[in-house]
Every structure is written in C-alpha cells, then in structure tokens.
Structure 1
Amino acid sequence: MITLKNINKSFGELDVLNDISIQFEAGKTNLIIGQSGSGKTVLLKSIIGLLDVDTGYIYYDDRDFTNMNFKDKKEIRKEMGMVFQGGALFDSLSVEENVKFPLDMFSAMSEDEKKERVSFCLDRVDIKKAHKLYPAEISGGMQKRVAIARAIALNPRYLFCDEPNSGLDPVTAIVIDQLIQEITKEYNMTTIINTHDMNSVMEIGEKILFINKGVKAWEGCSDEIFDTENQALNNFVFASNLFKKIKSKL
C-alpha cells in the first residue's frame, strides 16, 4: 500500500500538483490518468523519489518515504520494480542478461540462483525461446514482456508502470494489461500505472485517480466511470467516438 497525503509540487511559479491525497491499494491495479500536462508524470516521479515534493507525505505502507535519508530510500527502492515507457531494455544485453541486470546490481544471489530466477521470470511472462536474443531481434510486445520480467526479478512489493502500452497494437496491449494485473494479484503488489490508454482504464482500472490541472478531480473504479457526472472526466474518457457510443447505449 502506498499513501499520499496533501502532496504539493511546483516548479518556480508553476503549480503542478495541488493537495493530492489518495491511497493506492496492494493487490490491485491502480491507474493514474489525465491529459498531457495534467501532472500525472510529475506525480509518478514524486512517488518513486525522482522528484522531491514541496509539501505533503508519501508512505510506503507505514514508512514515511518523504522524510527518509538517502540510505533508507535506497533500501525501499530495492523493493520497487519499474516498467518504463518503451521498455527501456539495454540494447547491448541479451534478453536473459537484461532480466539478470537488477540481480547483479542489488542481490547477493549466486550465479546459479540468478540463472534460476531469470528463467522463472521469463517463463512467468511467457518468454520461452528468446533468452539469447537481443531486444532488436524481438517484437515490441515481447520487449514489454521482458521489461516486466526484469521489473519482477527482485520480487518487488511495489510495481510502477509508465505508459506500458505505448507503441503496442490493441491486441498486444490487452495481453500486457492482463499480464500486469495477473502478476499484481499473484504477488499482492501495490501496482501504479501511469496511462492515457482508455482500454486499460476499462479493462484493469480497479482503482483510478484522475488528475485535472494538477488537482485530484476524481477517484473511483472502471465500473463507476460510466455513471460519473464529473464533466472534466467525461470529456477526457469519452473523447473518442467509440466510448461515446458505448456510453450512449448504457
């Protein structure tokens, strides 16, 4: 569980986040949505500590991440997994070497233990015969699977995904969504996904935070979106003709 209390963040005179409070639950896919420039990326970077908030508190379970020293924050970062936009695999490393990378950096495993863990993680994301291939030799969907395998290599308590479906076709995007949701429940992780993909919102939005102009404008789940009277959220979610038609038939 990750809890935010009264988070504020500014850059100079520009207020980006204003008094945001929410609790992201373990075992659920928690989504942050909003238009470009709404502040959702700044919020995600603040949660993982890439940016310091001006005021407010971020708790990892009952641990105050905001006021920790560098050493203690580093320990919590060992409990985090990250799926970056585009996958962000190392081009010069093979698939199995990419997954092994965090184990080399942060674990005290033997080489045999690392090899076993890499095989387990790749099997879990259904990568069977690509261990020795390089990122340029596999599809975009497979690259995302490998990125997920790398993110769970250290068995994290917290998983962060930044636009995990970026650049994927709709069918592959659904597969990646389902995989993230399955792994979240399987390991009871606190998963936070930064996305603008409305299919993801509808498919796996178990808890959704909608940010509008730096303010928490709505909180709920996918089942509640069709009934909301929040005009800003309606304008965002039902911008496409497809979702307009779906809502009109309900």
Structure 2
Amino acid sequence: MITLKNVNKSFASLKVLNDISVNFEAGKTNLIIGQSGSGKTVLLKSIIGLHEIDSGKIFYSDRDFTAMNLKSRKNIRQEMGMVFQGGALFDSMSVEENVLFPLDMFSKMSDTEKMDRVNFCLNRVNIKNSNHLYPTEISGGMQKRVAIARAIALNPKYLFCDEPNSGLDPVTAIVIDNLIQEITKEFNMTTIINTHDMNSVMEIGEKILFISKGFKAWEGTKEEIFDTDNQALNDFVFASDLYQKIKKVNR
C-alpha cells in the first residue's frame, strides 16, 4: 500500500497539488485520472520522488518516504518498477538486453539467474522468440510488453505506469490493460496508473482517483462512477455520446 497524507506541491507561485490524501491499495489497479494540467503527472512524479513535495507525507506501507535520506530512498526505489509513456526502451539494446538492464544495475544474481529471470518475465508478458530483436523490429504493443517485462524484472512491490496505452490501438490497449491487472494480482503489487484513457477506467478501474485543478475531486471504483453526481467527473468521463449511453444503461 502507498498512502498520501495532505500532500501539497507548488512551482514558484503556482499551486499544483492541494492537500491530497489517498490510499493506493496492494493487489489492485489504482488509476489517477484528470484533464491535462490537472496535476496527475506531478502527483505521480511526487510519489516516486522525482518531485519533492512542499508538505505532507508519503508512506510506502509504514515507511515514511518523505523523511528518508537518499540511501534509504534508493532501497525503496529498488522495489519500484516503472512503465514509461511510449515504453522508453533502449533502441541500441535488444529485447533481452532491455529486460536484463535493471538486473545488471541492481541485482546480485549470477549470469544464469539473470537470464532465467529475463526469460521468465518475457514469457509472462507473452513475448517469445524475440530475445534478440531490437525495439524498432517489433510492434508498439510488443514494445509495451517488453517495457512491462523490464519493469517487473526486479520483482517489485510497487508498479507505476505513465499512460501505458499511449499510441496503441484500442484492441492492443485492452490487452495491455488486462496484462497489467493480471500481474498486479499475481504478484500482489501496488500498481498506480496515470491515464486519460476512459476505456482503461472502465476496464480495470478498481480504485480511481480523480484530480481536478490540483484537488482530489473524487475517489471510488469504476462501478461507482455511474452513480456519482460529481459534475466535474461526469464532464470528464462522460464527455462523449458513447459514455453518456453507457451511463444511462447502467442506471
């Protein structure tokens, strides 16, 4: 579990995060949603320590991340996996080498153990017979799978995904969503996904945090979205005619 208590963040005179408190639960897909400029990306970067918050607390289980020194934070970061927007694979490295990279950097495994782990992770995301291909030689969906394999190589407790469906067609996006949800449950990770994809919200939104103008405007599940009277959330989620029809059907 990751817990935020009264988190605030400003850049110069611009207040971006306002007193945000929330629990992100282990074994569930926790989604952060909101319009562009709402603060969701700043929130995600604050949780992983890329931004220092101005006030408040961030806990990883019962560990106060905000009070830690650099060495202690490094230990927690080795418990994190990250799927970046666009995949962010190293073009000069093969599929195998991309997944091997964090193991070479942070693990004390033998070479044999590392390769066993690489192959396990690639098999888990249904990538086969592609170890020696390069990112430019595989599809966008396969690149995202490799990015997920790299993210789970160190068997993380915490998985962070920044717009994991960016650039994917709707069918492939659903496959990636389902894969993230499957491995979240399988390894009991605390997974936080930053997204604007409403298909993801309706598909895997077990816990949803809606950010509006830097404030926590709503939290709940995908089922509870249909019954909310939060106007800002309704305007965001049900902006299209399709989702207006879905909401009517569910009511």
TM over 0.5: same fold?
yes
> In the alignment, what sits opposite 1:197?
197
- 1: CA distance between counterparts of 2:146 and 2:241? 34
Give, as a single letter, the amino acid of the residue that structure 2 aligns with 1:206: E
Alignment of 1:224-235 (within 5 A): 224-235=224-235
Q: Secondary structure at the match of 1:229?
A: coil
Determine the structure 1 residue equivalent to 2:183: 183
Amino acid across the alignment from 2:5:
K
Corresponding residue for 1:57?
57
TM-score, normalised to structure 2, is: 0.99
Task: Tell me which residue corresponds to 2:30.
Answer: 30
- The one-letter code matched in structure 2 to 1:231 is Q
How far apart in 2 are the matches of 1:50 and 1:210? 21
Residue 243 of structure 2 aligns to which amino acid in structure 1?
A: F
* SS of structure 2 residue aligned to 1:235: helix
Mapped partners of 2:245, 2:181: distance in 1: 27
Supply the AA of the counterpart residue of 2:96: E
Shift of 1:248: 2.5
Offset of residue 246 of structure 1: 1.3
Q: 3-state SS of the aligned residue for 1:32?
A: strand
Deviation, structure 1 residue 160:
0.1
Q: What is the DSSP-based 3-state SS (H/G/I as helix, E as strand, rest coil) of the residue aligned with 2:15?
A: strand
| Partner Cα separation in structure 2 for residue 133 and residue 118 of structure 1 | 14
Counterparts of 2:113 and 2:194, CA distance in 1: 33
1:80-129 residue CA offsets vs partner (Å, 9 max, x unmatched): 00000000000000000000000000001111110100000000000011
Contiguous gaps of at least 5 residues in structure 1: none
- Kindly tell me the number of residue pairs found equivalent between the two proteins: 250
Deviation at 1:241, TM superposition (A): 1.5
Superposed CA deviations along residues 181-227 of structure 1, whole A, max 9, x for unmatched, are 00000000000000000000001000000000000000000000011
3-state SS, counterpart of residue 228 of structure 1 = coil
Which stretches of structure 1, 4 residues or longer, exceed 6 Å deviation after superposition?
Answer: none
Structure 1: distance between partners of 2:228 and 2:16: 25
Unaligned runs of 5+ in 2: none
Cα offset for 1:245?
Answer: 1.5
Q: Which amino acid aligns with 2:125?
A: V
Task: Quote the Cα distance in structure 1 between the aligned partners of 2:246 and 2:108.
Answer: 52
In structure 2, the partner of 1:112 is 112
Distance in 2 between the 1:248 and 1:72 partners?
Answer: 50
Amino acid in the other structure paired with 1:35: Q
Task: Report the alpha carbon displacement of residue 247 of structure 1 after superposing the two structures with TM.
Answer: 1.4
2:217 alignment counterpart? 217
Give 3-state SS (helix, strand or coil) of 2:219's partner: strand
Letter of the 1:5 counterpart: K
SS in 2 for 1:66: helix
**One-letter code aligned to 2:235:** N
Aligned residue for 2:21, secondary structure, equals strand
Which residue pairs with 1:5 in the alignment? 5
Find the counterpart in structure 2 of residue 43 from structure 1.
Answer: 43
1:161-172 aligned within 5 A:
161-172=161-172
| Aligned residue identity for 1:172 | T
Distance 1:128 1:239 in 2: 40
RMSD: 0.5
Q: Which residue of 2 aligns with 1:79?
A: 79
Is residue 126 of structure 1 aligned with residue 126 of structure 2? Answer: yes
CA distance in 2, matches of 1:3, 1:193: 15
Q: Within 2, Cα distance between the matches of 1:104 and 1:127? A: 21
Corresponding residue for residue 237 of structure 2: 237
Q: Distance in 2 between matches of 1:59 and 1:248?
A: 39
Shift of 1:240: 1.4
Partner amino acid for 1:162?
Answer: D
Q: Which residue of 2 aligns with 1:94?
A: 94
The DSSP-based 3-state class of the residue aligned with 2:96 is helix
Structure 1 CA distance for aligned equivalents of residues 247 and 59 of structure 2 = 37
